[in-house]
Amino acid sequence: MDADHLSQRLATVASYVPQGARLADIGTDHAYLPVNLAKRGIITGGVAGEVVPGPFKNAQHEINKEALDDRITARLANGLQAIEPTDHIDTVAIAGMGGTLITQILTQDFDRLAGVQRLILQPNVGEANVRQFLMTHGFQLVTEQIVSEDGHDYEILVADRAEAPQQYTAEEVQFGPYLLAEHNAIFVAKWQRELDRAQVVLRQVQSAHEVPAEKVAELETKISEIKEVLQRVGA
């Protein structure tokens, strides 16, 4: 992968960046996403934020190599602290982290999202945490996508600022309202694997010398919820 050939995961993230946006890519790694979007004339500029020195230097190198340092600024900073008011950022992308970490990043410097109209978030796990955050912090989900690449499933959540975001049910928070409605083959396969995994863990827990009742109940609830969704979508 390079800036001219994004992975399917990053290409999907890129597809939701509005024309003319000013983007902050948090956890940018090599800055492939903002560089790709700048080269294609999608974004007018933005910030490539990294908290780790190695990837930050990679991002700087990529931006300089493509002569885009007049439009994209690489910053070594923790999460949203990479964003300054003078950047006029209106779109934030955070991809390739756990949902808990993404939520933490968004929460701890929430004031830096003041001018942001769109969030494009790709958690590797813990998607429900991200949906819960959006619903309670003034962002309305506008679409979700699930892609499969190199043996992994990735959910991309896109949300726009809203005064009164729709409140979702626990099931919608867990499975994704848009993904539930579409229930494509990738979605079904993901949750079938989750069901199989949970059933294996349940059997292991039940065979323990001392059976932890709370863990059993938790797993049985999870299995029941997944089965119900899979049955409803005809899996």
> 131, 176 in Cβ contact below 8 A?
yes
Query: Environment class of residue 140 by beta-carbon count within 10 Å: exposed (0-12), middle (13-18) or buried (19+)?
Result: middle
What predicted TM-score, i.e. pTM, was given to this entire model?
Answer: 0.93
Q: Tell how strand 43-50 and strand 72-76 pair up.
A: parallel
Residue 218 to residues 21, 209, 212, 225, 228: CA-CA distances in angstroms? 43, 18, 10, 11, 16
In this predicted model, what pLDDT tens digit does every residue of 104-152 receive, in sequence order?
Answer: 999 999 999 999 999 999 999 999 999 999 999 999 999 999 999 998 9
Contacts 24+ apart (CB under 8 A), 218-227: 222/198, 223/195, 223/198, 223/199, 225/171, 225/174, 226/191, 226/194, 226/195, 226/198, 227/195
Written as tens digits, the pLDDT of the chain (235 aa) is 777 789 999 999 999 999 999 999 999 989 999 999 999 999 999 999 999 999 999 999 999 999 999 999 999 999 999 999 999 999 999 999 999 999 999 999 999 999 999 999 999 999 999 999 999 999 999 999 999 999 899 999 999 999 989 999 999 999 999 999 999 999 999 999 999 999 999 999 898 888 888 899 999 999 999 999 999 887 6
Determine the Cα–Cα distance for residues 190 and 233; give it in Å rounded to an integer.
13
> 155, 192 in Cβ contact below 8 A?
no
> 148, 157 in Cβ contact below 8 A?
no
> 117, 147 in Cβ contact below 8 A?
no
